[in-house]
Amino acid sequence: MIPEPSERFEISLNTSAGQITTAVDVPTGFVPVTSIVPLMRRLGEETQALEITRLAETGSVPTCQKGCAACCRMLVPLSAPEAFAVRDWVRSRPAEQQAQIIARLAETKVRLLSHGIWQRLSELCETADQPGDDVLDEINRRYYALRLACPFLDEEVCTIYDERPAACRELLVTSPADRCEDLIVNPVDTIPTPLRMSTVLGLLWQDLTGTSTRLIPLPVALDWAENHVRSSEQEWKGTQLFDQALDKVWRFLSQSCSGDRGASGS
């Protein structure tokens, strides 16, 4: 296969945890928005790593480990580009694995329908206005009370780990792992997230399409992606996508960090 033409971008980001400088190769041809999801995840993970290093100097380290899946009972929000990327990943799996995932998603839907939560989650995808924190907290609590395992969890192991949403990557704690068994009752110490990449990608999608979609809960993400398959097939120049995404990164950091901050690409 002939490698796709790309352009190297040198990126400098000033975050609340310090500055990172890195380089990414961006496709120069016309590509779907999912093509830059891995690039943006990488930037998010590098900023998170900087925060982890900063905290380690004070003696705080992540207590999350492989097999610790208590947080996989929480409601995970995705941006539209991530929902499309998850759909593509599922479609790339062998038929047997696809069937298992679809079956688990169907079971989850039945449970959520029986508790009157499915419709609320579906409405979040299409609402023109961002719901208030009180509304989101109420939905999150009702969902978490069911203790539903993520449809991509198999014997307490994440089967979509390399493609997992940004929200999953960003949730890390430094408190004892056993506190996570009940996140409503037990206080946990989370590691600050300098850059929420799902928010950045959601804002990018809004700009690209002129839509208001901001939050897509994971249980309904595949249904939403299937219903918007034509949108997922749109293509833009890769460098245009990346430039616009970087603009959203800069705006996010400028609003959430103190002191001078910015993002630049060349």
| pLDDT of 131 higher than 80 | no
**Top mean-pLDDT range of 46-55, 129-138, 181-190:** 46-55
Give the integer Cα–Cα distance in Å for 234 and 21.
Answer: 31
Q: Is the pLDDT of residue 262 over 50?
A: no
> So what's the pLDDT on residue 2?
55
Is the predicted pLDDT of residue 238 greater than 90, yes or no?
yes
pLDDT of residue 87: 96
Question: What is the average per-residue pLDDT within 220-231?
Answer: 94
H/E stretch holding 99: helix 95-114
- The tens digit of pLDDT for each residue in 49-81 reads 999 999 999 988 888 887 788 889 999 999 999
Of 98, 95, 90, which is closest to residue 164 (Cα–Cα)?
Answer: 90
pLDDT in tens, 16-38: 888 989 999 999 999 999 999 99
Of residues 124, 257, 130, 259, the one with CA closest to residue 203:
130
Instruction: Using pLDDT thresholds of 50, 70 and 90, give the confidence band for residue 104.
Output: very high
Could you give phi then psi for residue 157, rounded to 5 degrees? Answer: -120, 135
In percent, the amount of the chain with pLDDT more than 70 equals 94
Q: How big, in percent rounded to 5, are the helix, strand and coil portions of the chain?
A: 55, 15, 35
